[in-house]
Structure 1
């Protein structure tokens, strides 16, 4: 059964145009070609990157944080209370007014004490500012290294300037050492992000991030297996060109460098829109969707590869909308860059308590940040 499944999966009719197959990618005449078996090295490298990341965040990340004045957020911890903890864990983190009144009866707390307990308990689950900075510093460093490395690997290649060169000689395209390492390191990095996503800072687009990581890993892996190496390197370079700018904007945001953060974010938004909404769909996708059909008839791999490309483009549009909204908001109001993907730290002071006593709580929604809202996703957010 396993042998049959293997034969079906690696069927040349799925992976190559008619008349081409795995025999065309056998090493010969001192020419080396990409092979699916080469990708097994990605798993140990991804695990190794996760270890390196932990060391980096605890050393370099901590020193950068200290240099920029980023400190761990000081929070009041919620007093242990079994009844409130059970409600928080099993029912909801945002109790309605009627639930608050019921919990007051069970615990003997006042409404203000119950509301304060839930605010503090929610804050405990939110990632610390220092952790956010450490994550951003790691991603910034690695994205920047990937971009510089990818640019160095492609700067002298003709397909960087003439996209028609992507398919010249396909599928017999010799694998260069620089292409091998660019692929392996990039794929290992995205695999490490997927493995660590459960422990990373949670954002509102968590599901979209999962889809993006999976689609990226499949796209890179598939392009490697069928020797779409030239197209793959261009796609990776295009994506790496903006990501390090976003992470650097986050770092300065956490450090409180408002103007620097805003300026970098504007630069990031411009690069993102140009690369993801102009170059990617109208240049790169044109050369993967339209141009190949002038060389060979469509096959399953053609549809699969471009299906992943379309998935990425849909995610680009989704994120572009968020980016444009944030850019317009602070450009028109001169406010700090805000990210609609992450939760804001909730306040816990005497003024808010006084506001609650003066009727700040209504009965038609959950209590959040000292105010009532019908949906906790409507809370204010800061740049992650």
Structure 2
């Protein structure tokens, strides 16, 4: 482990040629302030803050709002309990011999199939739960996008991407950038951990990969002082999620026309930011980083991994758009495919 640690923190792995760790370590007399590993300690209080703010908003704002809008709190009608069917369902919820079970419980095969379908639906979250999740994300992404724009508005690299690597790695980090970066990192960890209890969707594995890639990207870019490109990735991803979550919440509240309009805005912003702007500007400008460092290639792999996920989700979105044009409205969840919901995120997220 000592040898692995020594290799992992080798300067040639993390830093450009002719740059040592002592060169990018804070010390009295240095003209700039560098990012440090200790900054990740901010993730703990920020993560706790996100958790408690969400809890308070859901309990005292979102749930009452959902009830006011008459969003259903329960999924299915009352299900008659049957020990034999319940045992069979728990053993294999996705596969069953309905013909054989119907003989055991003295029911028709059609009745058994209906019981099985209702039992499966009972495990799914209610419309109110999904509404609360969407409205929370909508509020959160509005806040974090505005906060990111506020922090970056006076930064030179926000208006000219060529400045992302001017003077690298001796660029210096300000307190507002540190807070913004650690808050976003805390949110990524929060999303990864609570993915286990979030609304289950068809693309859960893509979401795990997305969260892992986002955390890796943020951690690596902060450690080797490449945070300028990281801030651009964060803002670019957050802005598209606002229309996405707004559309879902409107769908659950049965405001179909508003949902349709929001979906048009969402798909336009999504393709513009994540399919066109992201690879052609953000990933392209990252090539200016010194390629002698191993972490450069790891970071580029994370960036391209995110883009690969964007392409997968874009295919889902285009399928929904095609169905919406044929049906005249966005059917089901704003991000659904067939009968199962599709999760498209972020961030970043």
TM-score w.r.t. length of structure 2:
0.92
Q: CA RMSD in A?
A: 2.0
Partners in 1 of 2:47 and 2:197 — Cα distance? 15
CA distance in 2, matches of 1:115, 1:145: 46
Q: Show the counterpart of 2:17.
A: 18
| Separation in 2, partners of 1:74, 1:207 | 25
Contact 1:147–1:237 (Cα < 8 Å) also in 2: yes
Question: 1:205 maps to what in 2?
Answer: 203
**Contact residue 143 and residue 243 of structure 1 kept, 8 A:** yes
Q: Which residue of 1 aligns with 2:346?
A: none
Query: How far is the alpha carbon of 1:7 from its aligned partner?
Result: 2.1
3-state DSSP of counterpart to 1:18: coil
Uncovered stretches (5+) of structure 2, i.e. residues with no partner: 344-349
1:325 maps to 319
> For each residue in 1:6-57, what CA deviation from the matched residue of structure 2 results, as whole angstroms up to 9, or x when unmatched?
3222111110111112212222446321111211331343244223322221
Q: Is the 8 A contact 2:333 2:341 kept in 1?
A: yes
1:283-329 alpha-carbon deviations (Å, 9 max, x no partner): 1111012x33xxx3432011000000010000011111111221232
- Equivalent residue, structure 1, for 2:171: 173
Residues 382, 40 of structure 1: CA spacing in aligned structure 2 closer, same or farther, 3 A cutoff? closer
Q: Which moved more, 1:134-143 or 1:39-48?
A: 39-48
Q: What SS is found at the alignment partner of 2:196?
A: coil
8 Å contact kept, 1:245–1:264: yes
Residues in 1 aligned to 2:75 and 2:16: alpha-carbon distance in whole angstroms: 60
Q: Does 1:280 align with 2:283?
A: no
Name the counterpart of 2:339. 380
- Cα deviation digits, residues 89-146 of structure 1 (max 9, x gap): 2224353xxx112101212222233122112101101110000011111111111111
TM-score, normalised by the number of residues in structure 1 = 0.84
Residue 158 of structure 1 deviates from its aligned partner by 1.8
Residues 338-365 of structure 1, C-alpha deviations (whole Å, 9 max, x = no match): 459658xxxxxxxxxxxxxxxxxxxxxx
Identify the residue that residue 71 of structure 2 maps to in structure 1: 70
Per the alignment, residue 237 of structure 2 pairs with 239
Using the TM superposition, give the Cα deviation of residue 78 of structure 1 relative to its aligned residue in structure 2, in angstroms. Answer: 2.6
Query: In the alignment, is the contact (CA less than 8 A) between 1:14 and 1:301 conserved in 2?
Result: yes
Q: Which whole-Å CA distance do the structure 1 matches of 2:283 and 2:89 have between them?
A: 47
Q: In structure 2, what is the equivalent of residue 261 of structure 1?
A: 259
CA contact (8 A) 1:73 1:128 kept: yes
Give 4+ residue runs of structure 1 displaced > 6 Å after superposition.
none
The structure with the largest alpha-carbon Rg is 1
Would the alpha carbon gap of residues 81 and 164 (structure 1) be closer, same or farther in structure 2, given more than 3 Å must change?
A: same
Give the number of equivalent residue pairs: 341
CA distance in 2, matches of 1:69, 1:82: 34
Q: Quote the Cα distance in structure 2 between the aligned partners of 1:380 and 1:224.
A: 41
